[in-house]
Chain A
Amino acid sequence: MIIDNMKVYWVLLLLFLISFKTFAHEPIYGHGPHVLYKGGFAPGLVFNSGTGFLETEYELEYGLTSKWTIGAVVPFSNASGLYSTEYYILKGKYRFFTDYEPGSMNEIAAFGGYQLSKVSNGITALNLGLTGGREAIDWYWFASAAYTAKFTNAALKPGNEINYDFTLGYRPFEIDYYKPDLVIFLEFLGKYQQKGELNSASINNSGGNSWAVAPTFMLTYRNYAFRAGVEFGVADNGYITKPKTNFKIGFEVHL
């Protein structure tokens, strides 16, 4: 009985931590359609922390073509008590629409990720989504929606998810190529989680919706970027709780 309770606890913690990692050069909580240039490398480091948890993500992305970026994430977290990694993520993004204008770009991209669990009864997940938006020298917007299907050998299977977000961005100072460049974002984040299953039977007291808002920013200097922000849970319904207040800090470089 105690072991079963422990399993539920770990699965719930993992659930909380599962969120397919963002690509470089987009909102730090949400998603955006931008991809790396052909042959470009982008190593990055993201810290995510709040009450009682710390997660560090080591990321590496590569521009396979000017439209297609692939990447890998190795997250370390203290979810299991030890600061360790319990899963790896492989991800990709393909930008299939671009509308270029002087000083701006409208884009749409499809993205996906595969989360591979290290532990035998861990959660393997597949994530597929669409994202679009506009980057311009004065303001930005991004929107995305993604479906995450979860698979596990454990008796308790968490519900699949739909995550969606909308981001507005504003550049308060005129952009200059050789001066630091600041963009401030306001990210709106939503999640719908289907009911979980215990021994293939639907769990009534599971599933629901949650919403959050995150003021964030991106400070770049040529090929170096620093992103940070705080996420505040706003509302929830059903049997999931809104995200606890947490912050993210990210560093990345384009090589």
Chain B
Amino acid sequence: MKGNKYFNSVLSAILFLSLFIFSNNSLSQTNQDGQKKYVKLQVDGLACQLCAYGLEKKLKALDGAENFNIDFKEGYATFDLPESTKITKEELKQIVSDAGFSLKSVVFSDEPFKNKNEKKSLLK
């Protein structure tokens, strides 16, 4: 009886883990298939995780936004969007302002950002 309980618990844990891994893999697959644009925001005032979370939350509310990251040292926030999601610099400025920060510039790219010297269309 005790063995059965133990077996059931292990089985449930494996099932739960499998579902979790499967759902994450499916999500990644979907994203890999779609066309993406990569966005890099130069944001002044980013100094800690807890305050930066507000920016993540607001940017993630954009349709399809994912892979959010922050480089505190360089003062950049980066994330991906589906190509179909339309967003202007003014809208991004408002989002950054609502999060309590100041937007300096926006860069859109067709490729993921790897270094700070990318030659892309800079919207000032």
Q: Report A's interface with B, CB cutoff 8 A.
A: 24-25, 34-40, 63, 66-67, 98, 100-105, 135-137, 174-178, 181, 183, 220-223, 225, 254
Contact = CB atoms under 8 A, between A and B. Distances in A.
- Mostly, the A contact residues are loop
Question: Lowest 6 CB-CB distances: which A-B pairs, in order?
Answer: A37-B54, A102-B75, A100-B44, A100-B45, A105-B45, A38-B98
B108 interface: no
Contact of A135 (B47, B54, B73): B47
Most A CB atoms within 10 A — which of B47, B53, B102? B47
B76 to A, nearest CB: 9
Nearest to B46: A103
B81 to A, nearest CB: 19
Q: Name the prevailing secondary structure of the B interface residues.
A: mixed
B54 A40 contact: yes
Given A34-B51, A100-B44, A135-B48, A177 B100 contact: no
22 contacts: A24-B50, A25-B48, A35-B100, A37-B51, A37-B100, A38-B54, A40-B57, A66-B98, A67-B100, A98-B102, A100-B102, A104-B47, A105-B45, A135-B48, A136-B47, A175-B49, A177-B52, A181-B48, A220-B49, A222-B49, A222-B50, A254-B53
B101 interface: yes
A177 B50 contact: no
Given A220-B48, A222-B56, 17 more contacts: A25-B50, A37-B51, A37-B57, A38-B99, A98-B102, A102-B42, A102-B46, A103-B75, A105-B44, A135-B48, A137-B47, A175-B72, A177-B70, A181-B49, A222-B49, A222-B50, A223-B50
A34 B100 CA distance: 9
